[in-house]
Amino acid sequence: MQVTRILAVRHGETAWNVDGRIQGHTDIALNEKGRWQAEQLALALRDEPIAAVYASDLGRAFDTAQAVGRLKGLEVAPHKGLRERHFGRFEGLSWAELERRWPAEALAWRKRMPDFAPAGGESLEQLQRRIIPTVLDLASRHPGEQVLLVAHGGVMDILYRAATRLELTAPRSWELPNAAINRLLWSPEGLTLVGWADTLHLQSEASLDERSA
């Protein structure tokens, strides 16, 4: 049985990552550090065999993927199914602002209630129902090959849970760093985790602060 190897990567850093603002479907560009992270990612993957590059159509993910695509001579295929969770009226707010305006909704989010959706946004269940079929479909197109998927923190979280068979309500004990390399395998039986949150390629520039996730 042939499997598909998946390189799953969260986009590089943005100004809203630094400010702790909720991005969701809001199209925020990479900041200077995020662009540097994208270039470091491309260098880290330059010798990896990659058959195809797929990315969320939101700029922060697509531009991160483009850095790899340029170096590898591959076109980046945008896919709306790889977008971040839609946070509706939460988008643009910090945690402090959210908890001040809608404390009950903020608590529902913190408790990871699977069916809770911010006004105008998606629930965790809806996000899962969008992400998993999208990724399985893309992976199934490349048996025996390796593909790169560049998306968002919420997408990475869903993939980790799917590969480790963890429920949506399970507390998160794993990191979701910007531009980290995560490795999974796809087979008709589902996803399997191979490696997670490799940031070695982002540790070569001492002048950059790597604390922001």
- Residue boundaries of the structural domains of the chain: 4-86+122-202
DSSP state of 30: B
Global pTM?
0.93
Identity at 9, one-letter amino acid code: V
User: Cα-Cα-Cα-Cα dihedral of 18, 21, 26, 28, to 10°?
Assistant: -10
| Mean per-residue pLDDT pooled into runs of 10, the chain (213 residues) | 94 97 97 98 97 98 98 98 97 95 94 96 98 98 98 98 97 97 96 98 62 33
Can 25 be counted among the known catalytic residues? no
Q: Is 11 a catalytic residue?
A: yes
Which is catalytic among the residues 11, 25, 79, 152? 11
**What is the C-alpha separation between 169 and 194, in angstroms, rounded?**
22
CATH number of 4-86+122-202: 3.40.50.1240
Catalytic residue among 13, 39, 84, 122: 84
Return all residues near 172 (Cβ < 8 A) that are at least 6 apart.
Answer: 157
Distance (Å, whole) CA 154 – CA 74: 25
